[in-house]
Amino acid sequence: MEDQKAPETKEEPDLQYVQYEPAKEEQFLPAIRQLISKDLSEPYSIYVYRYFLYQWGYLCYMTLDANNSLIGVIVCKLEPHRSGTFRGYIAMLAVQETYRGRGIATNLVRLAIEAMASRSADEIVLETEVTNTASLKLYERLGFLRSKRLHRYYLNGNAAFRLILYLKEGTALKRPDPAGQGHGHVHEHGHEHGYGMGIESGMTS
Amino acid sequence: MADASLRHSTASAQDQNTILTNNESGCSKAQEQPLRHPLGGITPKIHDVTEKFTKACNALEVGQLVKDDYFTLFESIGAIEIMDPKMDSGFLQPGETLEDDYDCLTPLLPEELIGIMDQLLCYEMAWHTGYPLSQTLFTSLYIDKLLWPETRILERAQFYRGDIPDDKRPGPLLQVLRAYCLALIKGCDFVIAKIAARDYFEEEDFCTQTYNRVLFVSIPMDVFLRELDSAMEVVEDESLEINTALRSAIHSRLEFRKDFLRAQDLDLPLDLISYSWPTILENLGTLKNTHQLGQVVPGAFSTKMQRRLASTVPPRPIVELEFKDALEKLQQLCTDCKEATRFISLPQDPLEYQSFLWFFASRSPAPLAYSRSYLATLLFHPDVLQTSVSLPLSDVKTLVFPASPVLDPVNWTFSPPRNPMLPKPPRLQLAMLVDEFVDRCGQPYLDLWVALGQNRCRLRRMLTHVITGWDMLQADASSVDADISQAAEELGITDQVLEFSLSTWVYHKKLWMIEKIILLGFEQDIYLPDEFSGMYLFLSLIATRRKELLKRVEAHYLRRGEQLLKSRNLRDAQEVDDAGPYLDSLLAEAEGVASLSLALARFYIILLYLHMLPLPKRPFAKEELRYELRMKPFLSLQPPEAPPFEDFKAHTQPYGDFAAPDPAFQLDLNDMASDLWTEVDRHLKAAKEAFADVKKMGPKAVKAEGVATAWNKDVQSALASCIALGVAVAGVKGAVSKTNAASSESLGIKVVIPESGAGKRYAEGWIVAKILKME
Ligand SMILES: CC(C)(COP(=O)(O)OP(=O)(O)OC[C@H]1O[C@@H](n2cnc3c(N)ncnc32)[C@H](O)[C@@H]1OP(=O)(O)O)[C@@H](O)C(=O)NCCC(=O)NCCS
């Protein structure tokens, strides 16, 4: 999958947007971890990154500068959700502090949305802290709506909004396919909340 | 509620069920906690797989993931990396010791005792707000010593275990601290038992995790009270050399602990509960005023304790709550519980209960998990709900069956014909139909009450599930209604029975819930400013439907009243008359909601056309899809509630695209007599009048007598929202007429949306924009 198309970043000619591949783990994963961990009270283990990157590396995009240093990253997944939809999920997004406010995150999210849309996602969801103005603004400007407020979602006791973007008509009416036990194990318990670490760990069937 | 399962404790669902259906059996308290036992007798056999494992690993590429379908995201998030100090709580920095070297037997100064007691209270309240024991109380070395290693005999629960030399034995102040800690721990046990027995969400509302520590579950409360009593004697003893101020500060803390523990007692008889909280509240001032006498003892608490509690959780910071904030939380908790005790003396009426639950959930600040469980325990207490009539039935009767032949007690005196093939007498049929329906109502009714006991975010989400249950109930009610009307026909009393009575009742309640869902959405900032007009318009639509429904009921009351007067059945005529105020006040309230939301919708439409609200570009979102997402909770309802998108669009964008409105907009805008303006005014006026009527009719009419104060405040804030909207409309009008509005930019005004939860809105669900003049 060579989806490495560059978005309209006229004002930042030195930056390039590239898609992650598992073969790039040694080169990029340490930087990705470092960038993401900066804004977390508790780091994710390497398994969390591999969980996403190994299965959905094609939904991970990186912004690199001329020296191939990591400036921004977005990490996602896309799979059938127990609600019956084919659901994309933005798990992580971060941009180096000194590069913020220039539209880099917006470009990364655009790339991720396009990638998920091209793979027939019904919807894209994510959570963000109710006080994260920059994040809310950026997603809402692209078309996401708030669907829920989640009480004490994060370890620090803060609440989150769940944001959703529908990509297809009829998404709200989809129901779990009762016969669709096809994809492996059916988990009884869906977690509305994750580990308080800002990632939903909702099981899919 | 599929999205709620794992964190959701359902332990008590059965208890609640039995109570709602007026069953005899009581509520069992889930006090016992499972104890973990080591696998007895099996000697583990150890296989060294290191070599095999290393070899296998070498065959993998870096970044390659080996996982089966059972390895989930949940598990990957739960994983920690050994030797990473941020994840591995067992990791020691160079020179770091595993345990603290604090000695719990070192004699304490009275100041230090006060300091530790107050610090413990801070952590106790931090725990109440939702943090785990591992980051709060269990960081106390004293508490750890008392609880670990576990002992079932309280005398052995000391700051040491086994024998120690006499000169090391804890002195009087340490004995006092021990008593205080013991009572505190027992209190935690009560708290966990109370919360865990009700519907709550683990880690979201509260953390019941005790890390295999047993909080003296099996030791009765009296023992702890005695410990506190002897501690008080120690403090009172003249031979204890200590200054008076400190002595009395310590004493009042012990007293507080005693009062608090008794208030938390799970077996406190109902007739005593209302006395427990006021005493505590009265004495909080003393704690506050003497806090500065204390002296902190930093070594008495440590994050290192977490290593002893759970090895698979990363080290997490101790949650620091200031004493002043802790006292505030404590005061809030006691005040809320005190309020909850009033539940038992409410008029026995499910509608009074419903009002109480609604207003309790709406208290600000939001009641803590403990207070909510405290109320829920009373609500489902078998001695509290001892009405002779089932609760749903009494609710149904109030709205649709006053003085109705359907509920005539005579109907229940018929016996079925011996031969089951013979038709049952129609009166018996009525009785059986009603019984069947009431039975069918139990679960949806219960679901509503359970939802009303949740945190505010959950309440909104749960209601979206509850309405689907009521939607199915409505379908069933319709078929019962058909049978009722057949029986009524056989009896020749069709004109005495409201057509579709049961489904009317269900539908009314369902619409009421939908209104609450939308208002809660506004309260929780779910809608963005450019969605306000559409969502208020939808709210108005729903409230109008409810009003129409109530109008039908009103017409029936009138007809029925006349019939009864004509037949000189004065007693029944009086009953219909008595049902009037409730209906009237529901009608006025529905009118108020419908009109105010319509006025707001129209106001926000004007602001949108004037480009005074942020309107995101949304390159990825189609309007229809956003509408679909918004209407999701309501799409499956029957009858359909969400209008087709085209209708919605036509009503929310009457002049076409906001960016390029139809020229008619400019004309209407400048013409103060156009519908654009007069409709806002008209609906606003109707809203004001309706809410004023509601207010005049008072809390008794609407069956909120038990929460009269909160209810009055609520109506008042709706009225205040009307007035604020009037001011805002005038602000825009004034600017438009002054500038002749060539363009919105030159109006010289700006819009401010008042924040939620900051006391900036008169009513959290009624968002009224403020119009400010630009400097
Ligand atoms: C959120 C984050 C990824 C945004 O990155 P970015 O590259 O600066 O984002 P963009 O420039 O594309 O857009 C951000 C928007 O928010 C605005 N913004 C930034 N900080 C803001 C603030 N404190 N208050 C209000 N708006 C703010 C920007 O101005 C911009 O909007 P605009 O284009 O209308 O001016 C970045 O701030 C970050 O890494 N934060 C820490 C990690 C995080 O919070 N991740 C999101 C969790 S899902």
pLDDT tens figures, A86-129: 999 999 999 999 999 999 999 999 999 999 999 999 999 999 99
Please check whether residues B39 and B180 belong to one and the same domain.
no
Same domain, B123 and B52: no
- Closest alpha carbon to B20 in B508, B507, B447: B447
Least confident of A90-94, B282-286, B740-744, B745-749: B740-744
| pLDDT score at A184 | 37
Q: Give long-range contacts, CB 8 A cutoff, 24+ apart: B249-254.
A: B249/B114, B249/B286, B249/B290, B249/B293, B249/B294, B250/B110, B250/B113, B250/B114, B250/B117, B250/B176, B252/B283, B252/B286, B252/B287, B252/B290, B253/B114, B253/B117, B253/B118, B253/B180, B253/B287, B254/B176, B254/B179, B254/B180, B254/B228
- Please name the amino acid found at residue B223: V
Q: Is B59 part of a structural domain of the chain?
A: yes
Is residue A72 within 8 A of residue A108, CB to CB? The reply is yes
What is the SS3 assignment for chain A? CCCCCCCCCCCCCCCEEEECCHHHHHHHHHHHHHHHHCCCCCCCCHHHHHHHHHHHHHHCEEEECCCCCEEEEEEEEEEECCCCCEEEEEEEEEECHHHCCCCHHHHHHHHHHHHHHHCCCCEEEEEEECCCHHHHHHHHHHCCEEEEEECCCCCCCCCEEEEEEECCCCHHHCCCCCCCCCCCCCCCCCCCCCCCCCCCCCCCC
Q: How many domains does chain B have?
A: 2
d(CA B343, CA B274): 10
Pick from B331, B320, B321, B319: nearest CA to B288: B331
| Record: contact A143-B619, CB cut-off 8 A | yes
Residues 6+ apart with CB under 8 A from B538: B518, B642, B643, B648
Residue among B504, B581, B511 at smallest CA distance from B544: B511
pLDDT for A177 equals 77
CA quadruple B416, B417, B420, B426: dihedral sign = negative
Residue B196 clears pLDDT 90, i.e. is over it: yes
Whether B627 has a pLDDT exceeding 70, the answer reads: yes
| Whether residue B378 has pLDDT greater than 90 | yes
Give me the pLDDT at residue A10, please.
Answer: 47
Q: Are residues B134 and B17 in the same domain?
A: no
Same domain for B169 and B313? yes
A87 has which bridge partners? A79, A123
Region of poorest pLDDT, from B19-23, B354-358, B713-717: B19-23
Average pLDDT over residues B491-497: 96
Q: Looking at B26, B53, B77, which one is the last position of a domain? A: B77
Please give the pLDDT value at position B43: 75
Q: Which residues of A touch B130 (CB under 8 A)?
A: 152, 157
Name chain A contacts of B67, Cβ cutoff 8 Å: 51
Helix axes B532-566, B501-523, angle to 10 degrees: 150
Residues B256 and B311 in one domain: yes
Q: How does pLDDT run across A44-95, given as a tens digit for each residue? A: 999 899 999 999 999 999 999 999 999 999 999 999 999 999 999 999 999 9
Provide the 3-class DSSP secondary structure of residue B28. coil
Answer whether residue B22 shows pLDDT above 60. Answer: no
Q: In whole angstroms, what is the distance from residue B207 CA to residue B450 CA? A: 19
pLDDT at residue A197, rounded to an integer: 59
- For residue B254, the SS3 value is helix
**Rounded Cα distance, B119 and B650, in Å:** 61
- Please, what is the end-to-end C-alpha distance for chain B in angstroms? 52
Q: What pLDDT band is residue B91 in, cutting at 50, 70 and 90?
A: confident
What is the Cα–Cα distance from B429 to B440, expressed in whole angstroms? 16
End residue of a domain, out of B309, B328, B352: B352
Please report the sign of the dihedral spanned by the C-alpha atoms of residue B332, residue B334, residue B337, residue B342.
negative
Specify whether B67 is located in the same domain as B135.
no
The answer to whether residue B13 is domain-embedded is: yes
> Is residue B674, in this structure, part of any structural domain at all?
no
pLDDT digits (tens, 9 = 90+) for B56-78: 989 988 767 788 888 888 888 88
Q: Could you tell me the pLDDT band of residue B41, with boundaries at 50, 70 and 90?
A: low
* B543, B590 contact by CB (below 8 A): yes
Helix (H, G, I), strand (E, B) or coil at B349: coil
Distances (CA, A) of B172 to A122, B107, B178, B367: 68, 9, 10, 38
* pLDDT at residue A40 is higher than 90: no
Contacts of A178 in chain B (CB under 8 A): none
Q: Is B332 helix (H, G, I), strand (E, B) or coil?
A: helix
Identify the residue whose tokens are 């006092």.
B176
Which of B79, B458, B618 has its CB closest to that of A143? B618
Is the per-residue pLDDT at B12 higher than 80?
Answer: no
* Mean of pLDDT over chain A: 86
Number of Cβ pairs < 8 A linking chain A and chain B: 173
Q: What is the mean pLDDT of residues B316-330?
A: 97
Q: Identify the band that residue B742 occupies on the pLDDT scale cut at 50, 70 and 90.
A: low
Do residues B102 and B298 make contact, with C-beta atoms less than 8 angstroms apart? no
Q: Which residues of A touch B621 (CB under 8 A)?
A: 142-145, 165-166
Of A76-80, B380-384, B713-717, the range with the lowest mean pLDDT is B380-384
Query: Is the pLDDT score of B33 beyond 80?
Result: no
Report pLDDT for B490.
Answer: 97
The distance from CA B729 to its chain's CA centroid, rounded to whole angstroms, is 35
With respect to residue B318, please indicate whether it lies within any of the assigned structural domains.
yes
Residues of A whose CB is below 8 A from B75: 47
B346 vs B331, B341, B350, B379, CA distance in Å?
A: 24, 10, 10, 11
Query: Higher pLDDT residue, B68 or B223?
Result: B223
Q: Which of A34-43, B274-283, B622-631, B742-751 has the weakest average pLDDT?
A: B742-751
B230 and B133, same structural domain?
yes
Asked if the structure places residue B253 within a domain, the reply is yes
| Residue B770: pLDDT over 50 | yes
- Considering the domain architecture, whether residues B66 and B124 belong to the same structural domain is answered as no
pLDDT at A189: 34
Residue matched to tokens 């798990």: A91
For position B29, what pLDDT does the model report? 32
Last residue of a domain, one of B352, B375, B393: B352
Amino acid at B571: R
Q: Which of A107, A108, A137, A199 to mutate to test the pocket of ligand 1 (most atoms within 8 A of CB)?
A: A137
Q: Which residue has the higher pLDDT, B775 or B728?
A: B728
Residues 100-159 of A with CB under 8 A from B: 110, 113, 117, 130, 140-153, 155, 157, 159
Q: Distance between CA atoms of A49 and A91, rounded to whole angstroms?
A: 10
What 3-state class would DSSP assign to B315? coil
Identify which of B600, B613, B612 has the alpha carbon closest to the alpha carbon of residue B721.
B600
- Residue B763's SS3 state is strand
B555 burial via Cβ count (<10 Å: 0-12, 13-18, 19+)? exposed
pLDDT on residue B389: 75
Same domain, B17 and B138: no
In sequence order, the β-bridge partners of residue A164 are: A125, A145
Which pLDDT band, with edges at 50, 70 and 90, does A198 fall under?
Answer: low
Q: What is the mean pLDDT of chain B?
A: 92
Eight-class DSSP state of B449: H
Helix (H, G, I), strand (E, B) or coil at B403: coil
Q: Is B425 exposed, middle or buried (0-12, 13-18, 19+ CB in 10 A)?
A: middle
Kindly state whether residue B136 falls inside one of the protein's structural domains.
yes
Give me B759's structure tokens: 């006391």
Asked if A172's CB is within 8 angstroms of B7's CB, the reply is no
B130 to A152: CB separation less than 8 angstroms, yes or no: yes
Mean pLDDT for B618-636 is: 97
Nearest Cα of chain A lies from the Cα of B622 at a distance, in angstroms, of 8
Contacts of B757 (CB under 8 A, 6+ apart): B364, B764
Same-domain status, B72 and B117: no
Q: Provide the domain limits for residue B302.
A: 110-352
- pLDDT for B311 equals 77
Sign of the C-alpha dihedral, residues B261, B264, B269, B270?
Answer: positive
ipTM value, please give it: 0.90
DSSP class of B752: E
B interface test, pick of A166, A168, A193 with most B CB neighbours within 10 Å: A166
Nearest to B621 among A44, A150, A165 (CB): A165
State both tokens at B247.
């002595």
Can you read off the two tokens belonging to residue B706?
């038990």
Q: What is the residue with the minimal CA distance to atom 44 of ligand 1?
A: A135
One domain, residues B214 and B299: yes
The CA distance from B313 to A79, in Å, is 28
Query: Tell me, what's the pLDDT at B76?
Result: 87
Whether B63 contacts chain A with CB within 8 A: yes
Strand order in the sheet with A145-150: A16-19, A61-64, A70-80, A86-95, A123-129, A160-166, A145-150
Distance A38 CA to ligand 1 centre (A): 15
Q: Per-residue pLDDT tens for B442-471?
A: 999 999 999 999 999 999 999 999 999 999
pLDDT, position A163: 98
Question: A80: which strand partners?
Answer: A86
Digit-coded pLDDT (tens) for B571-610: 999 999 999 999 999 999 999 999 999 999 999 999 999 9
How far is Cα B528 from Cα B723, in angstroms, rounded to an integer?
23
Query: Per-residue pLDDT averaged across B513-523, rounded?
Result: 98
**Count of C-beta atoms within a 10 Å radius of residue B254:** 21
The pLDDT of residue B1 is: 28
Which of these, B455, B453, B108, B472, lies nearest to B295 by C-alpha position?
Answer: B108
Give the per-residue pLDDT at B62. Answer: 74
Establish if B70 belongs to a structural domain: yes
**B233 part of a folded domain:** yes
Does residue A1 register a pLDDT over 50?
no
Q: Are the Cβ atoms of A203 and B456 closer than 8 angstroms?
A: no
Burial class (CB in 10 A: 0-12, 13-18, 19+), A124: buried
The model carries a pTM of 0.92
* Same domain? B58 vs B118: no
